[in-house]
Each structure stands twice: as structure tokens, then as C-alpha cells.
Chain A
Amino acid sequence: MSATAEATVLITHDVGLHARPSVKFTKLAKSFAADVEIALAANGPWFDAKSIVKVMAAKAPKGTVLHIRANGDGADDAIRALIELVQRDFDEDAGHVRSA
């Protein structure tokens, strides 16, 4: 079964899609067979969501509306799982900003 799905989600995490969240995000994306891509705007450019190098290169700060699209087996499930991860603030606790 092949399908295409697309959705958007607001990044609320304090510093955006940074190192630790990116590790979780790409790991989750890789658990799906479908091709998954992200973009900071509806018209792209699109980045491979399974590559942490590409995801970090997108440099998505807090407040970004993240566009996610998937194509292939389990596309809908992949989108749903990734959106939920972003909405849960990547399962991180509050207060990761440490003063000097």
C-alpha cells in the first residue's frame, strides 16, 4: 500500500529542532518505511527527515511551522508519530537552558 501524506506542526521547544530533538526526530523517521521530508515553508526546500545532518541543516528555531511530508508505506502513521513527538516537545523536561 502506498500513500502520500503531509501536515504541519508548530515547534514549541525552547531552542527549536536542535541536537537532542533532532536525534529523536530522525530515529523515529527512520522507523518508518515511507520516505519522509521536512521543510520550513510549504514550497520547500525539502530536507530528508531520516538524515540528522539534513535536519540540523534546516536550522528550525522555536516558533517555526514545520512542514512534514511522507510518501510510501505507512506514510500516515509516520506523519502522525512525528507530529506527536514535536507536540510533546520531544519528551524533554523544562529548563534545558543553563546559565553560566
Chain B
Amino acid sequence: MKTENQKAWLFVLPVLFLVAFNALVPMMTVVNYSVQETFGNNQFFWQGLDWFEQILRSDRFHAALGRQFLFTATILAIEVPLGIIIALSMPRQGIWVSVCLVLMALPMLIPWNVVGAMWNIFALPKIGMLGYFMNDVLGVSYDMTQDPLAAWITVVAMDVWHWTSLVVLLCYAGLMSIPDAYYQAAKIDGASAWSVFRHIQLPKMKTVLTIAVLLRFMDSFNIYTEPFVLTGGGPGNSTTLLSIDLVKIALGQFDLGPAAAMSLIYFAITLLVSWVFYTLMTKDDRR
């Protein structure tokens, strides 16, 4: 049981200062921009909630948001089941465990723009391994700079490549926490492999799976660098996800007001969905 102690605040202060400095000041800047209009020369005019209204009504935002949700849903639908299957088939002991874990974690330790660049090179028609394989071996026409579908598939494949291991490692940690006695008891009780999964492994993985989904949701929703380097959001707008669109508006067109308003809306959505996950998770923690 935790004890009540208000002095604990002293321990938290350094973190509080550091994060507040990084979070609050920029956030206020964003809020400030979001309600004003500027024509340069550091002149600002009060704009009220116009930008918010404009963004919320704009087709461009809707399209980017739609693509974003489609992307997040797609990678979750692939990475979570795939991660579970791989974790279940991992060896439980021996030197191969370390080798597997290290190799699997490797993609996550590569700078994000290198990931994008790497997949770009990988997918180049004629020159890249994937591009060569698709076009010249399988005979499928594949060029992600021309074909939106190919671009979309490549972005999804890259994310699966980059992040499925996170789900694997989390599930693996969950599986390792199951005492042997559970498997032995299940054998003696005559349980089938499916029963073992359904009644032993899945319940024990619940907490880690929630963490996995939460992290994958947040990170895929915020994704910027990898798809930007890979496709630049193209061809057309086909792979322009929310962050890419935001940066285009803010730095490309220097429309600070709409960009700021969009930032806040964007942030609010992330926060809302994450909060739902977080509540579910801590509810589990307490039990």
C-alpha cells in the first residue's frame, strides 16, 4: 500500500520543470497561432475559432484523417496478430532466444529517416531488391512513385517491418511470465492447443497486449519521418498522413494559423483515444 506524502512532489519537480518547459511553452505558442492570422512582418490579427472551423470543414483534413485512420487500423490489424503468432512460436530457452531477440529489435534501433531511405532503396524498380523481384521475377508492375496502391503497400510493409517486433517482444515477455505448472496442468487436464492459448496464454498476455496496442496506436498516429522519406506523401496525396500534411501546411505553405489549429485538433484526437486505452490499462493494473 502506498503512503500519503505530499513531500513526494519535491521528487517530481525536476521532471515537472523539464517537461513543462518543453511542453507548455510550445503548446502556448501553438494555441496563440491557432487563433490569429498573420501576413508576415510579425503582425498578427485576432481570428477567433475561425481556423478550427475551417480545418474541421476542409476536405483536405478529412482526407488526411481518413488516410491516417486507415493506416493505423491496417498496421494494427497486421502487426498485432502477426506479433502474437511469432511470439508463440519463439523458442523459450537456449542461445537462440538472445539471437532472436537482438535481431528482432534491430529495426527499431535504426534512425527513422534511415528506415525510410532503406526502404526507398529496397523498393527501387530495377535497382532495389524488392523492386527487381516484383517487376523482373514475378512480372508484377510495381513502382511506388507512380502507383498509389504500390506506395500504400510499401508504407504498410515498412511499418510492419519496423514495428511488429515491438508486439512480439511484449507478447514474449508476457508468455515468459507464465509458470511451467500452467502448461503441465493443462496437459494433465487434457486441454487442446487452442484451449491453452484461449485460457492460459491470452489471459496472461492481456496487459502487455494493451501496452502494445497503445504504443502502436500512438506511434503510428504520429508517424512522420519514415513515410515522408519513403514516398514524400505521394504519388499525389495518396500516402500523405496527418503529420506529413501538417508539416506541409506549416513549413511548406507557412500557413501558421491553420497549421496550429490542425495541430491542436490532431493532438486532441490522439489524446482522446490514448486516454481510453490508458484507463483500460490502469484498471487492469489495479486488479
Mutual binders A and B: no
